[in-house]
């Protein structure tokens, strides 16, 4: 006969208030993103957000204070998602530079090409046009994104140091290309082909710049010695004559 305790199933652990709160906040943010991706920013109303999240509008206001608070939280979440793509980047000490560049661009595009970013892009274009209360502008949000890219860039390519101005130019160029591809996809309704050629071209461009920077940064002793062409041409016949003699 089985012990009575063997037939008793373990009851699921009851979630804490903090866990329930985090889950509700996550559902609200996901409701905003999915609604904007599906019906656009203007049709993403308070009622639609609450219905998708499975909560009341009062609960939404309790967590975020209103629509502006939700939109700001979506942007914060987007920056966190972007950084998360780079959590397990290859080690610079053991991975070739060109491999890291391709990984960096591929991971960045995984973010910019997502539905989540398309929703954020629409927020940047439309949500911050108010003339009353001071709000963060799309330009300020782009600077924030650039600052995050700069931190990830320096962590990924420590062996290819560039002057700060040139590094920022390349980072801005990278953002411009990826955001342009994302905008192209958004305009077409998300039905365009995957831009593999464009993404690969971006990676090759960055790899060329970074390889030149890495070559300059190497100690002189580690650089391959180059023999001038004129000197090399003179050296070969001389050796031949010596051998013939």
Per residue in 57-72, pLDDT (tens digit) is 898 888 888 777 887 8
Please name the helix (run of DSSP H) or strand (run of DSSP E) that holds residue 79, with its range, or none: helix 67-84
**Higher-scoring residue by pLDDT: 64, 1:** 64
What's the domain count of the chain? Answer: 2
Nearest to 144, CA basis, from 102, 69, 82, 85:
82
Residue 240 forms part of a structural domain: no
110 shares a domain with 54: no
Q: What is the pLDDT of residue 139?
A: 59
Mean pLDDT of the chain: 81
CATH of the domain at 190: 1.10.357
Residue 154 forms part of a structural domain: yes
110 shares a domain with 29: no
134 shares a domain with 101: yes
DSSP sequence for 156-187 = H-TTS---HHHHHHHHHHHHHHHHHHHHHHHH
121-169 residue pLDDT tens = 777 776 555 544 445 555 566 677 788 899 999 999 999 999 999 999 9
Residue 91 forms part of a structural domain: yes
Residue 245: pLDDT over 80: no
Note whether 238 and 137 are within 8 A (CB): no
Contacts of 240 (CB under 8 A, 6+ apart): none
Contacts of 15 (CB under 8 A, 6+ apart): 23
115 shares a domain with 205: yes
- Grade residue 231 by pLDDT with cuts at 50, 70 and 90: low
51 shares a domain with 84: no
Residue 241 forms part of a structural domain: no
134 shares a domain with 44: no
Note whether 65 and 73 are within 8 A (CB): no
Categorise residue 190: left if φ over 0, alpha if ψ from -120 to 50, beta otherwise. Answer: left
Residue 223 forms part of a structural domain: no
Tokens of 122: 């629409």
Q: What is the pLDDT of residue 243?
A: 47
205 shares a domain with 142: yes
75 shares a domain with 53: no
Residue 218: pLDDT over 70: yes
Residue 150 forms part of a structural domain: yes
DSSP sequence for 15-55 = PPHHHHHHHHHHHHHHHHHHHHHHH-STT--HHHHHHHHTS
170 shares a domain with 213: yes
121 shares a domain with 155: yes
Nearest to 205, CA basis, from 165, 236, 170:
170
Residue 224 forms part of a structural domain: no
Residue 11: pLDDT over 80: no
Residue 3 forms part of a structural domain: no
Q: How many angstroms separate the CA atoms of 136 and 143, rounded?
A: 11
CATH of the domain at 50: 1.10.10.60
161 shares a domain with 45: no
The three-state secondary structure class of 70 is helix
Q: What is the pLDDT of residue 14?
A: 78
- Grade residue 86 by pLDDT with cuts at 50, 70 and 90: very high
The percent of residues above 70 in pLDDT, for the chain, comes to 76
Expressed as residue numbers, the domain containing 76 is 71-218
52 shares a domain with 97: no
């Amino acid at each position: 006969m089985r012990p009575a305790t063997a037939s008793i199933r373990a009851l699921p652990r009851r979630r804490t208030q903090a866990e329930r709160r985090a889950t509700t906040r996550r559902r609200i943010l996901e409701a905003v993103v999915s609604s904007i991706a599906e019906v656009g920013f203007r049709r993403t109303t308070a009622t639609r957000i609450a219905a998708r999240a499975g909560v009341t509008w009062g609960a939404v206001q309790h967590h975020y204070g209103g629509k502006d608070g939700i939109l700001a939280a979506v942007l914060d979440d987007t920056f966190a998602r972007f950084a998360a793509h780079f959590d397990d980047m290859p080690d610079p000490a053991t991975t070739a530079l060109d491999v890291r560049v391709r990984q960096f661009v591929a991971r960045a595009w995984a973010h910019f090409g997502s539905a989540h970013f398309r929703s954020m892009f629409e927020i940047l274009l439309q949500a911050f046009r108010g003339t009353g209360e001071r709000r963060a502008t799309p330009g300020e949000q782009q600077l924030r994104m650039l600052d995050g890219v700069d931190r990830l860039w320096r962590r990924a390519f420590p062996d290819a140091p560039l002057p700060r101005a040139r590094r920022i130019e390349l980072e801005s160029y990278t953002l411009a290309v990826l955001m342009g591809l994302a905008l192209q996809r958004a305009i077409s309704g998300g039905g365009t082909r995957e831009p593999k050629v464009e993404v690969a071209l971006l990676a090759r461009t960055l790899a060329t710049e970074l390889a030149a920077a890495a070559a300059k940064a190497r100690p002189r002793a580690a650089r391959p010695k180059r023999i001038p062409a004129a000197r090399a041409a003179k050296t070969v016949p001389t050796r031949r004559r010596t051998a013939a003699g």
